[in-house]
Amino acid sequence: MPTWTLHTEFKFDAAHYIDGYNGKCGRMHGHSYKVKMSAKSHKLNPSLYLNTDDMVCDFKELKWAAKDSEKGGLDHGVLNELMEVNTTAERIAEFIHNETMKRIPEGIELTVTVWETDTCWVEYTDKDV
């Protein structure tokens, strides 16, 4: 069976605090987040910008979170105001995954990796690996 895996990386800067955390992460602070997305599909699809079945999905749809927070992304936003869950790295990755799945064609297996620092990151998928 043919398989395509699309990869992209982007960064965004945001402020947050971890509600209920007993330590400095419970205070407002910021990170330069790095995000990697891998989108795996066994078929090609059209997109909002291409009517033919020639893409796994559009890079624009994968990179939505890199947009300014005032334009629907996360960049330069306060994550606690943009997300309804606590803003741990795990929940940020899950949030980006869930919001991205709403924007891409059905049947794509998506993996989201979020780096909070150069040495601390989390990977999220909704599939058993």
Tens digit of each residue's pLDDT (9 = 90 or more) over 55-81: 999 999 999 999 999 999 999 999 999
Is 55 exposed, middle or buried (CB count within 10 Å of its CB: 0-12, 13-18, 19+)? buried
Q: What are the pLDDT digits (tens) for 78-121?
A: 999 999 999 999 999 999 999 999 999 999 999 999 999 999 99
Q: How many helices (H) and strands (E) does the chain have?
A: 3, 5
User: Which CATH architecture best describes the domain 4-125?
Assistant: 2-Layer Sandwich (3.30)
Residues 55 and 99: their CA atoms lie apart, in Å, by 19
pTM over 0.85? The answer is yes
Phi and psi, residue 63, nearest 5° = -95, 15
Whole-number Cα distances in Å, 119 to 33, 114, 122: 12, 11, 10
